[in-house]
Amino acid sequence: MASSIRPGPLAGRTRLRTTIIALAALAVAAAATLGPRVFSAAADEFDGAHCDVPGGVPGTSDSLLPDPFTMTDGSPVTTTAEWECRRAEIKELAERTIYGDKPDPPSSVSGSVSSSNITVNVSDQGASTSFSASVTTPGGSGPFPAVIVYGGFGADTDTILGAGAAIIEYDPGSVGAEGTGRNNKQGAFYDLYGSSSGTGVLMAQAWGVSRIIDVIEQSGGNILTNSTGVTGCSRYGKGAFVAGAFDQRIDLTMPIESGTGGVPAMRSIAQESDAQPLSSAYDEEPWLGDAFSSYTGNPSGLPVDTHEIVGMIAPRGLFIMENPHVDWLGATSGSVAALGGAEIYDALGAGNNISYWSDVSDGTHCASRSEWQSPLQQSIQAFLHDSGQAPGVFRVSSSKSGNLDQWRNWQTPTLEDGPGETSEPPETSEPPETSEPPETSEPPETSEPPETTQPPAGDCSAVIEVVNDWGSGWQANVSVTGPTDGWTLSWNWPGSQGISSSWNAQISESGSSVTASDVGWNGGIASGQTQQVFGFIGSGPATEPTVTCNSN
């Protein structure tokens, strides 16, 4: 992954929104060369309202994952402001080809919030509908952050309540029903937008989540108005994933075992043995939009893929949980999409805000797993309580470990802030008195550093940093400091350590000796520049051995 800095989570949505408001004027200028469509969605639900997005669907035939850092017109994304408009492009293309349109916020939303129930009343385009959700609060006094649980079937509710968050049990079928034909879709969404709408059930259900958030923001009560999570498992995991991607008010998204139509990369899942085929997911239920019929046998024609939907959630909290024991769920392709989406998190300097965990012992579909309990608690504390650090862990099952480098030919930039975008001004504009240079420009004789503090000229250096340790395994990131046009690293384990999975490097182990080399795109590093180049999951006791770096 690209970024060498992994900060903690943003404090709720407030910091992100403040930054985006400051970016808006610059982003409009950055997007001025795009096409004619101007979004009218509310900035709270979607922060790309200022972006112009080209109409139509660009033709493509690429078996590799699309580059999330290249605009439709071919220009590179280099700043956070440009990413906002690239995200707007991804959103629109995903609606046109995969999920169907999510309408702009309706003309009227009202309702009520109590300690046991939420009612939602919606009017738009001359039609009205309503639905409700039940509420369970943890012990103590509120108001509480809340996790919207699809069908009561997602992340462990006892753990959520124990972490001090309320449960909003949402019946997604009341908004977008399963078991219906594509020309006779049912539920509150289709009451407003027509039973023959091309929007699939997953997007309809995500629209319902947004309307629940509308009512919470209006009514408050015992539920906090700015600390919301969403979770679901299996088909409900697909729904939770879409809800988190298409509403930026959701602070923590937790899809579980979502399978085809959820997190797994569509190009990859089409080639993953025994995973549910795209055509099967399309035909089983009207989950996906009607337009996806053109891509069930041609995923390389999609202008987007699910690694970019993962990236739409960035930099907000995301904890993806998968089951490698059920082939139908396509966990290998899930890891490909998660690793690809994590590159977007890293580019935004928020690499710690995404976690992925498929290394579980229990193979039962949608079981409450002990391995997930601790990172679930950490995620709720970090993103809904703004306390502590996010888990920031990638624990990938060795039996279902995808290789991102086989699926991309693009590099990950570190997105910069444009002038005046996100930098906080210093408290005083006066420089400190000591900032004046000395009268003489000659350095003192003792200013030369000891020979051992810097690598020899022309050499690279590297370090291994343990970023997560769960006892039976651990995660490490590896950073290289240039100059180098290509690197090979070597080290020796001090004990029984080994590497169970890795990404973005070619690894070979022989006894206690390890060699790692670049994969091409991450080999070039300028002199003095430090870049996080790859990561791995280790076995045995966690350790940070001394690394030797050689330039190729």
pLDDT per residue as tens, the chain (552 positions):
333 223 333 434 433 433 333 333 333 333 333 332 333 333 379 888 889 899 889 888 899 999 999 999 999 999 999 999 999 999 999 999 999 999 999 999 999 999 899 999 999 999 999 999 999 999 878 899 999 999 988 999 999 999 999 999 999 999 999 999 999 999 999 999 999 999 999 999 999 999 999 999 998 688 998 999 999 999 999 999 999 999 999 999 999 999 999 999 999 999 999 999 999 999 999 999 999 999 999 999 999 999 999 999 999 999 999 999 999 999 999 999 999 999 999 999 999 999 999 999 999 999 999 999 999 999 999 999 998 889 999 999 999 999 999 999 999 999 987 554 443 433 333 333 433 333 433 433 444 433 433 444 458 999 999 977 766 677 788 999 999 999 999 999 999 999 977 777 889 999 999 999 997 767 889 999 898 888 888 889 999 999 999 998
Residue 39 CB partners (closer than 8 Å, separation 6+): 46, 48, 49, 50, 51, 53, 88, 92, 104
Question: Which residue ranges form the domains of the chain, and what is each CATH number?
Answer: 108-407 (3.40.50.1820), 461-551 (2.60.40.290)
Token pair listed for 283: 């035909």
User: Which of 142, 288, 158, 154 is CA-nearest to residue 229?
Assistant: 154
Which residue blocks in 8-122 are alpha helix, DSSP H? 14-30, 80-94
Residue 212 contacts by C-beta under 8 Å, 6 or more apart in sequence?
118, 120, 133, 148, 168, 170
Q: If DSSP codes are grouped into helix, strand and coil, which group holds residue 534? A: strand
Cα separation of 257 and 275, whole Å? Answer: 12
Q: How far apart are CA 207 and CA 176, in angstroms?
A: 9
Q: What is the pLDDT of residue 30?
A: 35
Strand order in the sheet with 127-136: 108-113, 117-124, 127-136, 166-170, 144-150, 223-233, 252-256, 317-321, 354-357, 394-395
Q: Which residues are marked as active site?
A: 234, 365
Residue type, 56: G
Classified as helix, coil or strand, 538 is strand
pTM: 0.75
DSSP lists the bridge partners of residue 552 as none
pLDDT recorded at residue 535: 80
Q: What whole-number distance in Å separates Cα of residue 194 and Cα of residue 201?
A: 13
> What long-range pairs does 515-521 form, CB within 8 A, spacing at least 24?
515/488, 515/489, 515/490, 516/478, 516/488, 516/489, 516/490, 517/486, 517/487, 517/488, 517/489, 517/552, 518/486, 518/487, 518/488, 518/552, 519/405, 521/405, 521/409, 521/410, 521/411
Place of tokens 């078996």: 63
For the chain, the helix, strand and coil percentages under 3-state DSSP, each to the nearest 5 = 30, 25, 45
Q: Check residue 418 and give its pLDDT.
A: 56
Task: State the Cα–Cα distance between residues 382 and 8, nearest whole angstrom.
Answer: 8
Helix, strand, or coil (residue 194): coil
Q: Which helix (H) or strand (E) holds 551?
A: strand 548-551
Query: Taking the CA atoms of the chain, what radius of gyration do you get in angstroms?
Result: 24
* pLDDT score at 271: 94
Establish whether the linkage from the previous residue to 483 is cis, with ω within 30° of 0: yes
Burial 525-534 (b: 16+ CB within 10 A, else e): beeeebbbbb
CB atoms inside a 10 Å sphere around CB 135: 20
In sequence order, the 6+-apart residues with CB closer than 8 A to the CB of 374 are 391, 470
Its sign, for the CA torsion 420, 422, 427, 432, is: negative
Q: Letter for the amino acid at 148?
A: I
Given a contact cutoff of 8 angstroms between Cβ atoms, the answer to whether 133 and 223 are in contact is no
Token pair 């997560």 in the structure block, residue? 468
pLDDT of residue 467: 78
Retrieve residue 402's tokens: 């995808």
Dist CA 245 CA 242 (whole Å): 5
